[in-house]
Structure 1
Amino acid sequence: MPSFDVKLDPNLESVGNAVDTSMKEIGTRFDFKGTSAAVEFKKKEKEVIVFADSDFQIDQVREVLFGKLTKQKVDIRFMDVGKVEKIGGDKVKQVITVKAGIESDLAKKITKLIKDSKMKVNASIQGDEVRVQGNKRDDLQAAMALLRKEVDDVPLSFDNFRD
């Protein structure tokens, strides 16, 4: 039976490269000289932590990071920006979580979308991905087109297409 998997799968190596190039730019820019502006990537936790001296400066550091992510072809919609926290003195930090794997709410939304469309395909949640099965390849491609059109808040990828 033909099927495909719907995933939310960022390229963590590209995220790491973007963080490294952001740190290089922060180190050379005049407006960041003598400040605690920094970006740190924790690959296991899938978190990017941005440090700065003020709210204004943390916005600038985040803009540098997002620019580098875009150059590395990492979709910004993978980034879940947290709130700015004070960490002592005048220093602030912000945790940006890298979304990986489809959350249960989004998985339920995807399956509901497919069932409400009355297409001849079945969607089932399997861990952090959604498997879509159908009898015809055209039905699966129509389901892909529907998901691309309707779910635009996260960058979905379609993998493991089997005929």
Structure 2
Amino acid sequence: MASSFSFDIVSQVDVQEVKNSINQSMKEIEQRYDFKGSKTEIEIIKDEEIKITTDDEYKLSAVIDILKGKLIKRGVSPKALDFLKIEKAALGLVRQNIKLINGLSKEKTKDIVSSIKNSKIKVQPQIIDDRIRVVGKNKDDLQQAIGFLKSNDFGVELQFNNYR
């Protein structure tokens, strides 16, 4: 029997699900009456960024709402999206880029580790690149740590894997 148990805390985006959500959003936009004749386009760039181009800011907000809905239905959290500023594009169009947040930043990992330590749960967190490994002597402590992390909002979507 193992002397200690562990799990990893990560924040990853399934890019294929994002692509599927974009395709579903474009199909819905093509069917909607308020988008007839508009030059609306959603594309993914290098699996890292979504680019939305449309006629005006009103349509841009509608496209973002549609995209968020499709992402949520496919299991991708809106917390994984970092909205950059709205820009003017050619021919009077507007454009907005949205970065996909993949991995935990150093600040987030430090914040998560310190909150785990402050919780007084008998586990040891350690930072490994852009993920956190949590080690404990019994599974109940690990379950308690997962529950604690789910109850707090760190501004990013957390997934728990490699539970052993």
Same fold per superposition (TM over 0.5) = yes
Specify every segment of 5 or more residues in structure 2 that has no aligned partner in the other structure, as ranges: none
Aligned residue pair count: 161
Note the 1:1-163 alignment, pairs <5 A.
Answer: 1-42=4-45, 44-151=46-153, 153-162=155-164
Shift of 1:45: 4.0
Distance 2:159 2:35 in 1: 37
| TM-align CA RMSD | 1.4
- Amino acid aligned to 1:79: L
Name which of structure 1's ranges 54-63 and 147-156 shifts more when overlaid on structure 2. 147-156
The normalised TM-score by structure 1 is 0.92
Q: Secondary structure at the match of 2:162?
A: strand
Contact 2:8–2:131 (CA<8 Å) still a contact in 1? yes
Displaced runs of 4 or more, over 4 A: none
Specify every segment of 5 or more residues in structure 1 that has no aligned partner in the other structure, as ranges: none
Shift of 1:4: 0.5
Q: Percent identity?
A: 36
Contact 1:26–1:38 (CA<8 Å) still a contact in 2? no
Distance 2:125 2:9 in 1: 10
Q: Secondary structure at the match of 2:75?
A: coil
Contact 2:121–2:141 (CA<8 Å) still a contact in 1? yes
Q: Secondary structure at the match of 1:39?
A: strand
Shift of 1:7: 0.6
Distance 2:154 2:130 in 1: 18
Q: Secondary structure at the match of 2:89?
A: strand
Distance 2:47 2:87 in 1: 18
Distance 2:49 2:58 in 1: 21
